[in-house]
Amino acid sequence: MARRGGFPGGGMPGNMNNLMKQAQRMQRQMAEKQEELESKEYTAAAGGGAVEVTVSGKKEVTKVTISKDACDPEDVEMLQDMIIAATNEALKQADDASAEAMGSLTGGLGGLI
């Protein structure tokens, strides 16, 4: 009677070694891509360019530029809103770039990693 299931001799197939090498290579590529993304900067503006915020790939605010026209002492709330809007947009750009880069590496593996 023939045995069913398993591998002859109880060992791992040669294909498993290839799979492990591919996983290690993907892990290395992901680490390299993460370093690359962290070194980039993302800039967004709000209020027609009155406020500009730059964030790093590490999601740290690195620069805020405020136009003199945006500094209305009677309407500080609008300036605050523009800073928040520009910051959130720059952070979204960083997130989108990260998701795109990692998605291209994983090739649609979805929840496997």
pLDDT tens for the chain, 113 residues: list them. Answer: 555 555 555 555 678 888 888 889 888 888 888 888 888 999 999 999 999 999 998 889 999 999 988 888 888 888 889 999 999 999 999 999 888 888 877 775 555 54
Using the Cα atoms of residue 89, residue 96, residue 56 and residue 40 in order, give the sign of their dihedral: negative
Pair 51, 75: CB distance under 8 Å: no
Residue 110: what pLDDT? Answer: 54
Triad 24, 26, 32: Cα angle to 5°: 105
